[in-house]
Chain A
């Protein structure tokens, strides 16, 4: 049997995609009983400092600060630090009004990255735990209390909450709402492998001594929340993820700003992965063997598919498959079967995951739209991200 090169790529790509899907399903099946947060309560009430970096956030900052003031965490154990990063709007003036509630407000000149602003606040913080909270996000009353039990051992240096989309209205926001909850689910699955690879910017809670031990946020990094997580992994420390302690964040509401955000994520993620490439090593367990390579595999796969499609267009153009659609047996190939299985598995697994987020009232139709759009969107993001990287454009926020 003669197999032409395009076919081999088809097989490798479909096998890899199916294998990764299967891995997540198997991780889920093996840990089915531990998906929901443990119902353990802790009496531990350490002093917590929440650092809010803010740049031009006059619309959101009040809601953000107010959510912390409304928290049921003991007031005397909660320190709120707002760092205005040289905003051109009224952010600083609004934040200053909260000084009377004990909020500490600082102002510095803008120096480019959010990492610098976060580090500035962290260095002022006096808590035993330090959280960073984006100014366009807010927490619920019980978010902090729900997160504390996740520090269930000394090794745990960071916990991540359930970050969800705040008040989705349009198509893109609803799509991102689905994406965010599904991300929570896969992050929880990765948690079982000690392989969480990001401490999300909107809200993450760290042990204060972590920064002294492994360093602060990388001030030159555009994806500093992911870089820090990689460094935590490098030091064999642990990140735990909650699916129930909710934090809400604003997401890009139009396509242009969404694409801009994702280019930053993908490009930053790729650069960070390459900078920490040494982690791809069985010495780092599942994290080194599976999670780190996965993003690189995704890039390679996307470009393999593009290569393959162009190859088929150039060398097999004499066949228009539509000519044979009356003869399905002739057109059918094993990869089609794999594709169908992959689609059904994705659909069933996704709908099943949404059962864990009943209170978010996600319409299954959105989930289906998400599954169908997502592959195209992520390919699009990757192409733009790599294109910009090759062109050497400056990375912007």
Chain B
């Protein structure tokens, strides 16, 4: 009969090698996350500068005759901001990186983008619907509200712009817009300037948009 043995040494050496590779992977992954965060921050700063330039352009002209130019420039900025938002969302939900500084900067950019949108909208009379969406990290209805808004934005592609703000983050940008609409509960929506509290499904939102 064969005397059974356990090659503990082999198992251990293989385990150590595997762990080493994994640690390197986690380390490289960490570096990638930092690089990604820094990249996003850089982009935000860049867009913020661009939006400042746009603001100056808007304030110095302020004439409906420049509307095509304004709209093009705004569209450009918006597209970039939306992509940035998705990247940030990906970083947070898929990769588990929660960077408050990054989010504050993003909300500031979003707020800026919203204010410029409002301005251009009043000047150039676009028919776009604007929704402000206030959520908080630990609100159970917010996940559902987010999904409903995804559906709406898919359905009204190009005719709607949704700005979302995490109300639980203490940032002066978010505070000021919260104050403006007196937001205290989550989720809350501001649809074309009218506040709606509590979870609203796709159809309810549609009705509000059509009424207003």
Contact = CB atoms under 8 A, between A and B. Distances in A.
A177 B206 CA distance: 63
A285 interface: yes
Interface in B58-94: 83, 86-87, 89-91, 93-94
Contacts of B10: 23, 26-27, 30, 193
Nearest to B10: A26
Contacts of B13: 26
Contacts of A282: 6
A26 B17 contact: yes
A155 B4 contact: no
B39 interface: yes
A247 B89 CA distance: 59
B96 A236 contact: no
B29 interface: yes
Given A237-B2, A330-B39, A19 B87 contact: no
B17 A319 contact: no
Contacts of B18: 15, 18-19, 22
A3 B25 contact: no
Contacts of A338: 21-22, 25
Contacts, number: 118
A289 B10 CA distance: 13
B106 to A, nearest CB: 14
A337 B17 CA distance: 14
Interface residues of B, number: 40
Contacts of B40: 330
A344 to B, nearest CB: 11
Contacts of A319: 86, 89-90, 93-94
B14 A237 contact: no
Given A30-B10, A285-B6, A337 B24 contact: yes
Interface stretch (A201-209, A294-302, A321-329, A356-364): A321-329
Given A18-B22, A26-B14, A330-B91, A285 B4 contact: yes
A85 to B, nearest CB: 34
A332 interface: yes
B168 interface: no
Interface in A169-202: 193-194
B126 interface: no
A53 to B, nearest CB: 29
B26 interface: yes
Contacts of A26: 10, 13-14, 17
Contacts of B2: 155, 194, 236-238
Interface in B87-108: 87, 89-91, 93-98
Given A22-B15, A288-B4, 8 more contacts: A30-B9, A284-B4, A286-B5, A290-B11, A323-B86, A324-B86, A330-B32, A341-B25
